[in-house]
Amino acid sequence: MIDLDDLRARPEAYEAAAKNKRLKVSVSRFLKLYTLRKKLIEHVEEMRGNNNSVSKRVPDMKGKEKEDALSEMKELGKTLKEREEELARTEDQWKAMQLELPSIPHERVPIGKDETGNKEVKRWGDIPKFAFEPKDHVALGEALDIIDIPRGVKIAGARSYFLKGDGARLEMAIMQFALESLRKKGWTLFSPPLMAGWECLMGTGFFPGAEEQTYAVGAQPKRGERIEADDLYLIGTSEVSVCSYHKDEVLPESALPTRYCGFSSCFRRESGTYGKDTKGLYRVHQFQKVEQVVLCRAAEDEAMKIFEEIRTNAEEVLQMLELPYRVLDICTGDMGKGKVFMQDIETYMPSRKAYGETHSCSYLGDFQARRLNIRYEDSSGKKRFVHTLNNTCIASPRILIPLLEIYQNEDGSVTIPKVLRPYMSGQEAIEPR
């Protein structure tokens, strides 16, 4: 949701944002709807006032005067009902269109139609070279008995998997390492709800738009019954729960910026990705993630500094793991409607012979705060909407792809990165069974 006063002041900027983000929403049509809604509200209120005025005089009337007044009230009531119904329909359209309007991208955002318009801005680390024929993470995982995809599929269908033994331990070590790195910097850890209501998904900008990617939770079935979805949804990122933590609250300015990290399982349907990245652990339905979420003052310069901070937190984790990566500025056509600025981190994956996305960092201005009604009171006593940011610190099992493939040895073992060994009882390698 955006500032409607700003929209009316510079509609051409929002029209350009919608076009560059490839959104099918018309700013000019919304403004016409806004004008119609305003006129209907004025008309309905005037009619209600007239109706009330006549009804107050009726008790003192007699004869034909009273009959005429009652007839007038009947006609007025009929017309009023029609106008109220028209206003209700217009209100519904107005509210629905508001949810489709975009934030204006930051001046640094490259204009492009899709991922081909993304711009690489940084690389770190060397691409690995092997003196032997390297295996992909699936072959390694099966040989080491730490990944079992066939039995995952047997239990929960395509894009499901088991991590077992040292594979499960390795994932937990990565999560603990990332969480500890943020804790040392003063971040507050959240273990959030894994289910959220429609308002939270709408508030964070996932609805409307990501319904097909989201698992809806069913109500309690009777024996042998399959039922329709309830109004709860499994989160695709803890951003949904953690960003909604202060929903409908007014925070003191001294509480900002918040630095929250959510650790949770995440769930995505991956609808529309049939046949895409089906092999291995790259695109799965369930995964673990440590997400950074920040609420800050309504100051773009401050927010952009925090953006650098949270992206750097993720980079430092990758550097400590000694995994080569690159940073991309995401173009207009590849970013969501609420994003003001966005960067992805892609980590090198030998089996793909390319970098693959492992982190996504976003600044959304007051887009989410307006939807969630999160404000703060500034030094002058004025209530303002906060600005929000989020970034992946680490996500698994996708991060296991570069880790297993880069740290593999000729004998089939996988060396455990030094920074993870304290979380695995000092173990130095995962050996073939």
- Catalytic center residues: 268, 283, 357, 360, 398
Which residues, other chains included, contact 433 with Cβ-Cβ below 8 Å and sequence gap of 6+? 144, 145
Could you give the CA distance from residue 431 to residue 126 in angstroms, rounded to a whole number? 25
Q: Taking the CB of residue 295, how many other CB atoms lie within 10 A of it?
A: 26
Q: What phi, psi does 29 have (nearest 5°)? A: -65, -40
Which residues, other chains included, contact 185 with Cβ-Cβ below 8 Å and sequence gap of 6+? 259, 313
CA distances from 342 to 7, 234, 328, 335, 363 (A): 22, 24, 9, 7, 6
Token duo for residue 237: 């990122």
Token duo for residue 51: 């109706």
Question: DSSP H helical segments within 271-408, as ranges?
Answer: 300-321, 367-372, 400-406
Angle between the N-to-C axes of helices 166-183 and 300-321, in degrees from 0 to 180, rounded to the nearest 10: 140
Could you give the CA distance from residue 226 to residue 213 in angstroms, rounded to a whole number? 21
* Strand-pair category, 147-148 with 162-163: antiparallel
